[in-house]
Each structure stands twice: as structure tokens, then as C-alpha cells.
Amino acid sequence: MRIAVVIRTHNEAPRLRLTLASLRSQAGLDEVVVVNDGSTDETADVVAEAGRHLPMAVVRHAAARGRSAAANAGAAAASGDVLIFLDGDMPVGPGFVAAHRAAHGAAGVVIARGETWHLRCTRMLRDPDAGVGFPEHVARLARLGEGERAAQRVTMAEVVGDFAAVERRAQPAIYPGGGPRRLFESEMDALLSAPECPTLWAAASGSNQSVPREAFLETGGFDALLDINEHRELALRLVQRGARLKPAVGARSYHLTHRSGWRDPLEHTDWETAFWKVHPTPAVALLPVLWASLTEHPAISAERRIVSLPDLASRAAEAGVVAADSAAACRALLGYPERLA
């Protein structure tokens, strides 16, 4: 079994340098495919440098095509039997590749998800290794003491030679905050304790997730119309074809947080149209209710909240078949707000 890590990246060269460095000592890694999705920074130089240490292939897009198209291009260029998808700002911990390999040891198609933690300390730094801030944070960083500035950094020396120093500052979930942490905990709990849950596909991850390359290509890869929740939509299609979602125990990645925050799927709802077109079901319509419930959204009363994937499956089963023109309309028919931003 050959393992390929596919990294999609856009204008995050300092973070990509750390991510690639974290792969150097990974046992069982056969290939790294970097998709440079229209970057205008020093990404090409970073990739060329990393090629001295890693079995590297590169795909370059002259203009950015988006997360899904970039991942699909990387999968097409890869030669590995199993693809592990990563973002360019996610260094990985020791044993990462081995844990994904172990998850695919059983027969059948497996979608394996690892644990993504975050490093809040890097949010003001354009370059976490050198300690260089984003322009709007330079003055604030200058007011910090030497020790405080040092605590913001994630250095190459730590990633390569003392990864425990990185792990000590990390926290569960891909982003800071109570909502993301509760979502992470609910997804991992379902993966570990409810393997037969019919909505387990919703625990799929946008990064630190692996899938057999053949199954990925046969099902068409990520939907290029989706740049949010493309991983959940793919997982649902694969599960409908008989795939199983399971945890890649011990595979941990660390998101180097940054100033621009994240695209909240409760606010950026364009993903729903493409998702609903393929999967017009109550489970899909109720996904935003799950996320809003985990943030204790005031529009959803405590007794109506959906706070776990088994709970989501139960509510969807109760709803049965609901004829609706959109996910928002389906939510309304089920007694929930159409919009939850």
C-alpha cells in the first residue's frame, strides 16, 4: 500500500514550509503532491526546497481554482493507493502517516479521519517560524515582551526536532472557540462510539482525512462547486457506495491559525444549493441545526437542539421523506429557522 499526502495551498508559504518539514520524518510516506493553487508569494521556492527532503510532485495552477478543484488535481497527479488530504497550514505530529496507513488495513473502502487541533498562538503571525507579523499586527507584536513574542512562534527547529513543544500549545478543534470544540468532540465521539450511525458521514474532515485513490476517482472526487462542506458531501457519496468512516487513531494535525478567521457555513450558505441538489434529505437540511445547536444559538430552544450525530440521525429518521425545494425550505417544514446566521 503506497501512501500519498495531497496538500492544497494558496499564498501561505511560511506555513507551508512548516507543514512540509513535519512530513520529513514520517515513516511509510511514499509521495507528497503539492497543489500550488495560483499562489503569488514564495510558495514555488518553498516547494522546491522541500523537494530535497521529500518524494515530491507539484501541480501548479496559474490562477486559483478553489479547494475542491485543487484537491482533485492533486489526486489525479498522485500515484499512491491511499490519499491523505492536508491543507498547507497544518503541520502533522509524529506517527501521522502510520496511523492513516493502519486505518486502511481492513478490507473494503475506508474513509479515515484524524484529529485536527489548532494553535491559536500563531493568529497574528504571517511567518510563525520567523515571528513576522501580519501588517495590521506588527505594532501590537512590538509591544509584547520578548517572552510573549517567543510564545507566539512555531519554529522550524520545533517542528523538526522538538514537536512536543508544538503539541503543548495546541487545543482540540480546527478553530478556537466553544462551538468548534463541541463540534470536534461530537464528531470524534461518534467515530469512536457509534460506527454504525447513518449520519457518520457528517464527521468527515476537510483536512487530515484519507481515502483510497481508486474510490476517490471513481466517485468523481470533490464537487468542484463546493468550497465548504465538500468533504462531507464526498463522504456521503462514498458511504452510499458502501464505504465506512472510521477514526485514524493517532493521526493528529495542527492548524496554524491566522488573522482571516474562517468561512462560517451558517453565514456562507451557497454550499447548500449544490449539496441539496445531490442529496435532498432531512439529514442534510438539519446539518446547520446541529452546528447552531452546538453554539447554543438563541433561535433554537434547548429541547429542539441537535447536539450529536446520532441525534441528527434520529431527527432525520423522524422526519422521513420531506418534499422541499431547498434545504432551507426543508428546515422550515421541520419547524426550524430557514437561516441560522
Query: What's the pLDDT tens digit per position in 166-193?
Result: 999 999 999 999 999 999 999 999 999 9
DSSP 284: H
H or E, element range at 239: helix 230-240
Contact 9, 88 (CB under 8 A): yes
Angle, helix 271-278 to helix 230-240, in steps of 10 degrees? 10
pLDDT of residue 93: 97
CATH architecture of 3-120+171-256: Alpha-Beta Complex (3.90)
Please name the residues in contact with 308: beta carbons below 8 A apart, sequence gap of 6 or more: 186, 189, 190
H or E, element range at 85: strand 82-87
Share above pLDDT 70 across residues of the chain, in percent, rounded to a whole number: 99
pLDDT of residue 260: 67
> For residue 58, which of 33, 76, 40 has the smallest C-alpha distance?
33
pLDDT of residue 264: 82
- Bridge partners of 58, per DSSP, are 34
Angle, helix 309-319 to helix 287-294, in steps of 10 degrees? 140
pLDDT tens figures, 230-276: 999 999 999 999 999 999 999 999 999 987 666 788 888 889 999 99
| Higher pLDDT among residues 23 and 147, named by residue | 23
Hey, what's the cell of 213?
A: 485513490
H or E, element range at 86: strand 82-87
Mean pLDDT, residues 298-304? 93
pLDDT tens figures, 255-267: 999 876 667 888 8
pLDDT of residue 106: 72
pLDDT of residue 261: 63
For the chain, give every domain's residue range: 3-120+171-256, 271-333
